[in-house]
Amino acid sequence: MTKKPRYYNQVLKLLQQLQSSYPHYNMGRHLSTALADYGDFWGISDKELLFALSKYKSQLDMDFPHVEEDIDNIIKEAQDLDTILKEEDNGDY
C-alpha cells in the first residue's frame, strides 16, 4: 500500500519556511495574500492550501527587494519626463 501524502504536514513545513525566509511578514499576511483569489476558503482542502501557499512562496522568491535610492531616482526621472520628451522632439538630446 502506498503512503498517502500528508498535505497538512507539508503546509506546516511551508509556513515555517515562509517564516524563516520572510520574518518581517506575519502568518496572517502570508495566509491572506496566498488565499486572496479564493474568496471563501472555509472548505479549502489541505492540498489546495498547499498549492496556494507554494504558488505564493514562488512569487515571493522571484520578487526582489528594491533599493530605496533606485525608487527615488525613478520618481525624479518621471517628474522630468516631460522635459526629456520635449528635448527629444527638438533634437536636443
Q: What pLDDT is attached to residue 81? A: 76
Name the pLDDT band for 59 (thresholds 50, 70, 90).
very high
Compute CA 22 distance to the chain's CA centroid, rounded to the nearest angstrom: 11
Neighbours of 18 (CB within 10 A): 20
Residue 77 binned pLDDT confidence (cut-offs 50, 70, 90): confident
How much is the mean pLDDT over the chain?
A: 85
Q: Taking the CA atoms of 75, 36, 51 and 25 in sequence, report the sign of the dihedral they define.
A: positive
Nearest Cα residue to 35 out of 5, 65, 15, 9: 15
Please give the share of the chain, as a percent, with pLDDT higher than 70: 89
- Chain-centroid distance of CA 71 in Å reads 18
pLDDT higher at 24 or 79: 24
Question: So what's the pLDDT on residue 68?
Answer: 73
Cβ(73)–Cβ(33) under 8 Å? Answer: no
pLDDT digits (tens, 9 = 90+) for 34-45: 999 988 888 999
